[in-house]
Amino acid sequence: MSELVLDELWSKTIEELINKTSRPTVKTWFEEVKPVGFFDGVLRLSVPNKMVKVWLEQKFHYLLLKTVKGFINDLKQIEYVISEEKIKTIKTTRFSKSFSLYKKISLFETNPATNLNPRYRFDNFVVGSNNELAFAAAQGAVNDSEAKINPLFIYGGVGLGKTHLLQAVGNAIIKRHKNLKKVKYITSEQFTTELVNSFRNHSIEDFKAKFRDLDFLILDDVQFLSGKTKSQEELFHTFNILYDASKQIIFSSDRPPSMIPDIEQRLRSRFEGGLVVDITPPDYETRLAILKIKCQERNYFLDERIISLIAEKITRNIRELEGALNLVIFAMKSKNLETLTEERINELLKDYLKQTYKKITPKKLIKVVCDFYNIKEADLFRKTRKMNVIKPRQVVMYLLRELTKMSFSSIGETLNNRDHTTIIYSYEKISKEINTNVEFSEEIKLLRTKLAEE
């Protein structure tokens, strides 16, 4: 088929698509799509990026096939190829951008109205093949387009950057709209807790109003809603109201919607109704780039050799990558060393890996914290309000939550039947303190390292 015929075919297809969907939809998804060949019944379309490719495959494939078949009878298949030029420019600009736009992190605090922490941004998120689709979709959610991806569902294992990406969307929206849009980031666990509290305080109407009034709802870790019928029901209604009003909704989960147990079918189908994208563990190059950006954020210089050793050995996830980096930096700082031998680094990383595979139990955690603060374990469980016990107790609550992922209520049970609201209060108090007090944050880092060493 000649180029001319192909172009003509394509403009007819576009017209037809506008009739069948809408102009904004076609503008959003097809503006940069071009036919590049027709051979053996296969029409080849060039698309600007992976996100458009996946979106067309998931949402428009059948409609496109039908439409084009109306013009070419012997059409068998449509293929989408990402334009080569685009791939190159995106890769290079993204990387240089993430480094040059880097701002020094210091005392970042979570905004209580939005729950957003300004530390999580697009410009300090390293893009690799493991997350580029999720990254592109998250960026897409920030742009106002009439045909947006809604909802966006991002899933992947622990420590792979879901929360970072979700929060980056929220922060970008706030920046772009100067607080004119109502944005809320919330974990599914917090959502559930707030809902339960609102029942208890007879303030369910306030709860509903608060969520139904948002422009952007960002809900993290929805796998937590498994088996929580009331929360699911409330989310379902909130979702429908926001969705019908064209408000953006973004979810994350540690697994795809189909694999979350005990979720009502109607909610699952909402999760699946937009774009579902995954994040996988980063490859070696991405791990290197992440380590470099984390060193910059800490204002700490590590030589290339050390960075590549860490990137080679720590492969499972980025949280572990950061943990290993902290450990190496800590080992150097505490001994006032400029560098470490390869042997020493290998030893450190080997130990680190061994430890992270060992599960941290509540018992062990309590022992380490008590040893660290030099208090008796029995005092921790007593209902004493002595200053020297209150702080370690709150640290225990915080670390249990962070490192074992126990629920607030079971942490309460473990610590002599304390109410879960006490645990949440302590957790928040410690989180805040970490963000505002550099010394204290070093203390917690050290404790984490100790726990890993135990």
Nearer to ligand ADP, 325 or 415 (CB): 325
Among 46, 114, 124, 163, binds Mg ion (CB under 5 A): 163
Please state the closest distance from residue 297 (CB atom) to Mg ion, in A: 18
Residue range at the interface with Mg ion (CB under 5 A); choices 8-16, 155-163, 306-314, 391-399 = 155-163
* Residue 318 contact, options Mg ion, ligand ADP, none, Cβ 5-8 Å cut-off depending on partner type: ligand ADP
* Residue 133 contact, options ligand ADP, Mg ion, none, Cβ 5-8 Å cut-off depending on partner type: none
* Residue 122 contact, options Mg ion, ligand ADP, none, Cβ 5-8 Å cut-off depending on partner type: none
Nearer to Mg ion, 346 or 404 (CB): 404
Please state the closest distance from residue 154 (CB atom) to Mg ion, in A: 10
Nearer to ligand ADP, 185 or 216 (CB): 185
Nearer to ligand ADP, 168 or 242 (CB): 168
With tokens 């300004």, the residue in question is 118
Are 163 and 189 in contact, with CB atoms under 8 Å apart? no
Please state the closest distance from residue 432 (CB atom) to Mg ion, in A: 19
Nearer to Mg ion, 94 or 162 (CB): 162
Q: Which of 279, 280, 286 is nearest to 307 (CA)?
A: 286
Please state the closest distance from residue 281 (CB atom) to ligand ADP, in A: 10
- What secondary structure letter does DSSP report for 177? H
Would you tell me how many other CB atoms lie within 10 Å of the CB of residue 46? Answer: 19
Secondary structure (3-state) at 161: coil
Residue range at the interface with Mg ion (CB under 5 A); choices 84-92, 121-129, 162-170, 289-297 = 162-170
CA distance 362 to 356: 15
Please state whether 79 falls in left (phi above 0), alpha (psi between -120 and 50) or beta: beta
Sheet with 275-278, strands from edge to edge, namely 183-187, 216-220, 248-253, 152-155, 275-278
Please state the closest distance from residue 220 (CB atom) to Mg ion, in A: 6
* Residues lying near ligand ADP in the complex (CB under 6 A): 125-126, 131, 156, 158-164, 290, 293, 318-319, 322
Torsion over CA: 432, 434, 435, 438 (sign)? positive
Are 29 and 60 in contact, with CB atoms under 8 Å apart? yes
- What secondary structure letter does DSSP report for 57? I
* Residue 125 contact, options ligand ADP, Mg ion, none, Cβ 5-8 Å cut-off depending on partner type: ligand ADP
CA distance 252 to 278: 10
Q: Which amino acid is at 371?
A: D
- Give the pairing of strands 42-47 and 34-39: antiparallel
- Give the pairing of strands 42-47 and 77-82: parallel
Nearer to ligand ADP, 45 or 288 (CB): 288
Nearer to ligand ADP, 163 or 394 (CB): 163
Q: Which residues bind to Mg ion, rule: CB under 5 A?
A: 162-163
